[in-house]
Amino acid sequence: MRKGKIMIIYHESSKTFHLYNNEISYIMCVLPNGHLGNLYFGKRIHDREDFSHLLEMKQRPMTACVYEGNRKFSLEHLKLEYPVYGSSDYRYPAVEILQENGSRISDFTYVSYTIAAGKPKLQGLPATYTEKDEEAQTLCVKLKDEVIGIVLELLYTIFTQRGIITRSARFTNEGTSSIHLLNAMSLNLDLPDKDYVWMQFSGAWSRERHVKERRLEQGIQSVGSIRGNSSHEHNPFYCAPTSVGNRKCRRSDGIQPDLQRKSQNAGRGGYS
């Protein structure tokens, strides 16, 4: 691939999206129930028509399944792009919507996608940007909850020269009823089981960004600031290397969110 070139490819036959540049690949697909599932995020790999071999479906005990008679397809054990409450996935959801009738159940299914040059601005929010459109490409995946009429747009921007993907989520109420958006994450990142470490940069005035490490255990771990900005106490960055104290770890996933709260539980990371 020519240096600096990036690609966002959609394979219609397998309903698979592949975002890649010279350094990384990010692959996701439309699942049988219409939700988006993550297949791969890591070092760049060659494109192919079908990556379904990366979809981990197997029968497990004590699992809630989506379809009667199919005990292998369970959202509880898949890596999901934007998980919701009440879907048979009992991990922490990326969004919670309170409806007028008291229900909090959502079901966002795939509708369409668009690919554009550059990176769109996030109105009213601080965000990364491009000076020229050729510096990045952006994928916008549109999903909709047909019952309540809420449209969810997931935006993925991949940059030309860096192994970086930025993400955001946008909600539009096209229904006839009012809803209360209780919680909405900028992104959700499900990672495969691993001996991960929670690494953050904390400190105080004039001595910022000290490296703090602890093993990532079951339960919710978080770091944040209520100052209204990132502050000197907690820098808005989180990294997940694969072993404590190993600066040359084989893999390290770093997150730099636009807003101020970051949390992760075992197997799932959500950021808002």
Q: Is the pLDDT of residue 270 over 60?
A: no
What pLDDT score was predicted for residue 109? 97
User: Residue 268: its pLDDT value, please?
Assistant: 60
Q: What is the pTM of this model?
A: 0.86
Tell whether the model's pLDDT for residue 258 goes beyond 50: no
pLDDT tens-place string over residues 174-209: 999 999 999 999 999 998 877 788 888 888 888 888
pLDDT value at residue 200: 86
Q: Which pLDDT does position 3 carry in this prediction? A: 53
The residue ranges of DSSP E strands in 135-220, in sequence order, are: 136-145, 150-159, 165-173, 179-184, 187-189, 197-204, 207-215
CB 43 within 8 A of CB 5: no
* Helix runs in 37-110, H state only: none
Statement: residue 63 has pLDDT above 70:
yes
In this structure, how many other beta carbons lie within 10 angstroms of the beta carbon of residue 9? 14
The percent of residues above 70 in pLDDT, for the chain, comes to: 87
Residue 110 phi/psi, 5° resolution?
Answer: -65, 135
* Alpha-carbon span 101 to 86, nearest angstrom: 15
User: Per-residue DSSP letters for 64-80?
Assistant: --SSTT-SS--GGGS-B
Count of positions (residues) in the chain: 272
- Beta strand pairing status for 165-173 and 150-159? antiparallel
pLDDT, tens digit, for every residue of 148-161?
999 999 999 999 98
Residue bearing the bigger pLDDT, 236 or 210: 210
- Give the Cα separation of 40 and 53 in Å (integer): 11
| Mean pLDDT value of segment 200-222 | 85
Quickly state the pLDDT bin for 254 (edges 50, 70, 90): low
| First-to-last C-alpha distance (Å) of the chain | 34
Task: Judge whether residue 2 has pLDDT over 70.
Answer: no
> To 5 degrees, how large is the angle CA 139–CA 135–CA 261?
60
The confidence band for 77, taking pLDDT boundaries of 50, 70 and 90, is confident
Please give the average per-residue pLDDT across 77-105, as a whole number: 92
The first and second tokens of residue 241, run together, are 């290397």
Angle value at C-alpha 14, between 91 and 31, nearest 5 degrees: 20
Q: In this predicted structure, what is the pLDDT of residue 10?
A: 97
Is the predicted pLDDT of residue 248 greater than 70, yes or no? no
Residues 52, 14 contacting (CB under 8 angstroms) = yes
Report whether pLDDT(1) > 50: no
267 φ/ψ angles, rounded to the nearest 5 degrees = 85, 0
